[in-house]
Amino acid sequence: MCEWIYAGTVKEPFSSVWTREGRPAKSPGLSRDQIVRAAMEILDAEGVDALSMRRLGAKLGSGATSLYWHIAHKDELMELVMDEVYGKVDLPDPEVTSWEDMASILAYGLRAAFVGHPWVIPLVGTMPSLGPNAMRMSSLMLRAFERAGFTSPPLDYAVSTLLAFVLGWTGPELAWRSTLANSGMSGEELDAAMMKTVRQAARNHPDILERFDDYRVKDPDVVRAIAFDFGLTCLLDGLRVRLAECRDRAGAGIPDTASDAASGVTSDTDRAPRT
Amino acid sequence: MCEWIYAGTVKEPFSSVWTREGRPAKSPGLSRDQIVRAAMEILDAEGVDALSMRRLGAKLGSGATSLYWHIAHKDELMELVMDEVYGKVDLPDPEVTSWEDMASILAYGLRAAFVGHPWVIPLVGTMPSLGPNAMRMSSLMLRAFERAGFTSPPLDYAVSTLLAFVLGWTGPELAWRSTLANSGMSGEELDAAMMKTVRQAARNHPDILERFDDYRVKDPDVVRAIAFDFGLTCLLDGLRVRLAECRDRAGAGIPDTASDAASGVTSDTDRAPRT
DNA sequence: ATGGAAATCGAACAGTGTGCGAGTGGATTT
DNA sequence: AAATCCACTCGCACACTGTTCGATTTCCAT
């Protein structure tokens, strides 16, 4: 029950839909694909709360418990629909696309996918993405970055950082968006109510209030898009620097070693013994 | 029920704990603080699934429904505990700290807070962070960045980008971490099982497999810390560039306008009419 | 046609968040 | 001292959840 949010106990170690073979699926009735498709329709139309096994069964014209023949538990279903979202972002051929274009396309594409299926956000922060579509995405990005000259350890860090930015950006953005959308208001009404709320919440922080006043006259969607682009540009600038370092090292014949540069502030997890 | 994951319908427009005055709290019995504290203990000890109103009431020695006098619904409780997590990260005085140190301290501190209370991740991607601690955090960061020379629109984008990176990074990291922790295995057993699973999931992507082989010999915590630092460094490099632009503009007396540079790939939300 | 496997289904269980109305206790007013 | 009021607690009930189990149906290979 809601276990996928933050798994309490996992049935088998590392059990995942992807590690187990699916049912033969030779029957004319239910199939895993149909179930996933129907689940996504419910999710997109009415959000996570609307997706119950009974409801899903009803939509498919069958009993709720019949689903459990094709799917072990609801978590698995969630893994499947999550990967389906990753499948929505399509990337160009990494062999003929610059790593920067690749990164931009991924960022915008993934953001669009998340915006189109907002219910996926809590899932991404909850269960590892091991589905074929997620794998394909990572693989293409790795190929593009490798072709550009990124060498092994930084290569993965670079891709991970990019994904982290998109995810971390889109989450709060969608939190706002859905809160607004579900308020039942629109236009100036909404604007006024929002300002009142934010103003009250930030009443002790004049600098924050100032920011909000700046935004009020602009279309929030446009502001968000510009801000997203700003962050992406920052990241690309940083990655360019790292790429240059990689190329220098490769040119000088120095092997890549993870730089021990985690200096300054450290969390409790930073100083584990190095092997 | 579970509505806070992706709010289906909100009772009042923009209702939030923070916009409403709390109860007088002059009673000797339950108080909002006690409830929040107890909730956090349960969450930290056993995760989100363990936190039910009945359970929480029992821990406080009172009936489950008594809680509803102090708290409107469970979502509100979640807002409260979420802000409590933000309160765990403490920042230095922005007037005497460089913006770069400030950014690093925030990044590592926030990551540590998330790692210490993993159940907060889905919340952050779900409801807007309007609590006093979140506000205080943003306010301090804005002050530090402003003092460094960031000017108005990029100022906010910079802070948002930093937060997005930390959140987006920590989410998947914790997904892995909890999956591992709950597998009930440890040491080599765990390592072997994980590799088997990942290998199977990535069986069609040799480049990904190659990465995992690289990591296997190292302490995953250390690798994660290094990778996090890598991403943070990238971001700071990018922000440094933006800061220089801000200073140039300020020196030339050019007013800040949001650059219309969201070029290239666009999502459906990018091209809303400009006001 | 028949045995067996594949698939479906209904009933039931333990659990969830929360609305409602009846109750409690202590302070304030008459 | 008695009555009133209000903050607060609580048990019951409702509709709903994911999932188990055993019985039942459906279908294919022999």
Query: Cα–Cα distance between B127 and B79 in angstroms, integer?
Result: 8
DSSP-derived 3-state class of residue A55 = helix
Q: What is the pLDDT of residue A215?
A: 67
Residue B63 has pLDDT above 60, yes or no: yes
Using the predicted structure, report yes or no on whether residue A47 has a pLDDT greater than 60: yes
Give CA–CA dist B103/B97, Å, rounded.
10
SS3 A2: coil
Q: Which residues from chain A sit within 8 angstroms of residue B222, using beta carbons? A: 270, 272, 274-275
Whole-number pLDDT of residue A263: 42
Domains and CATH numbers, chain B: 30-85 (1.10.10.60), 91-182+218-252 (1.10.357.10)
| pLDDT for residue B267 is more than 90 | no
| A221/B272 Cβ within 8 A | yes
CA distance B197 to B220: 16
Question: Taking CB atoms and an 8 Å cutoff, what residues of chain B touch A190?
Answer: 13
Q: How far is B108 from chain A (nearest CA, A)?
A: 6
Whether the CB of B52 is less than 7 Å away from nucleic strand C comes out as: yes
Contact A224, B269 (CB under 8 A): yes
- Residue-level pLDDT at A261: 44
Question: pLDDT by residue (tens digit) across A115-161?
Answer: 999 999 999 989 989 888 998 999 999 999 999 999 978 999 999 99
What average pLDDT is seen over chain A? 81
Provide the 10 A C-beta neighbour count for residue B26: 6
Chain B interface includes A92 (CB < 8 A): no
Provide the shortest C-alpha distance from residue B126 to chain A (in Å).
5
DSSP string, A177-216: HHHHHTTS--HHHHHHHHHHHHHHHTTT-HHHHHHHHHHH
Which bases on strand C have an atom closer than 7 Å to a protein beta carbon?
A: 6-11, 15-21
The arithmetic mean of pLDDT across residues B23-43, rounded, is 82
Q: How far: B179 CA to D21 C1' (Å)?
A: 29
- Pick the residue of A207, A217, A243 with the most B CBs within 10 A to test the interface with B by mutation: A207
